[in-house]
């Protein structure tokens, strides 16, 4: 079997833009609130309400994976976005791809998210389930509703081995 290799690049807003948004206050302006004790920095609104959806906030307790890691599957959510926010300094890998009917491996990218930086995956973006590089917890904001919104498929030409850059 032919093994493919991806180098996990550092996560940046520009490189991640086709797939979603980097959730961080770094480099963003805001407005003073709470009698000046806090700065409110606005993020993009989550996309959660299609098909009678409602916001669902969960905590995912992630067990660490080690690099190199052989990715075999991807999933996507057709009705809403999904946001991951590490609750501690937990680094993680984000594997994403675009594609209408199936993941397009020409758009497959791996990103290394540093401690304290979250992401929002746009609806219809193919992604690997959470890959924490240390045990940790993540707040996850996603759509909940009567219709299940998770499509899981084998990753074309798998396995794709993810390594640190």
CATH of the domain at 112: 2.60.120.480
Q: Which domain holds residue 105?
A: 4-164
22's tokens: 């980097």
Contact 131, 138 (CB under 8 A): no
Backbone region of residue 63 per phi and psi (left: phi > 0; alpha: psi in -120 to 50; beta: other values): beta
pLDDT for 32:
96
pLDDT for 165:
86
H-helix or E-strand containing 40?
strand 38-40
What are the start-end ranges of the E strands in 105-150? 109-113, 118-121, 126-127, 131-132, 136-144
Q: Which residue is listed with tokens 């009698």?
A: 35
User: In which residue ranges of the chain is pLDDT below 70?
Assistant: 1-3
The 8-class DSSP code of residue 27 comes to T
pLDDT for 1:
43
Q: Which residue is listed with tokens 């304290």?
A: 116
pLDDT for 2:
54
Total tally of structural domains belonging to the chain: 1
69's tokens: 């890691």
């Amino acid at each position: 079997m032919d093994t493919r290799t991806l180098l996990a690049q550092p996560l940046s807003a520009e490189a991640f833009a086709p797939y979603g948004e980097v959730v961080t206050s770094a480099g963003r302006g805001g407005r003073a609130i709470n009698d000046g004790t806090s700065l409110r920095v606005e993020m993009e609104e989550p996309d959660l309400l299609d098909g009678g959806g409602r916001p669902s906030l969960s905590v995912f307790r992630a067990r660490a994976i080690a690099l190199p890691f052989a990715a075999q599957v991807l999933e996507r959510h057709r009705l809403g976005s999904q946001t991951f926010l590490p609750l501690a300094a937990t680094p993680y890998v984000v594997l994403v791809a675009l594609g209408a009917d199936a993941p397009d491996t020409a758009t497959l990218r791996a990103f290394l998210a540093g401690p304290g930086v979250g992401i929002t995956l746009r609806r219809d973006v193919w992604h690997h389930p959470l890959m924490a590089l240390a045990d940790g917890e993540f707040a996850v904001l996603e759509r909940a509703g009567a219709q299940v919104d998770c499509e899981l498929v084998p990753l074309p030409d798998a396995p794709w081995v993810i390594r640190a850059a």
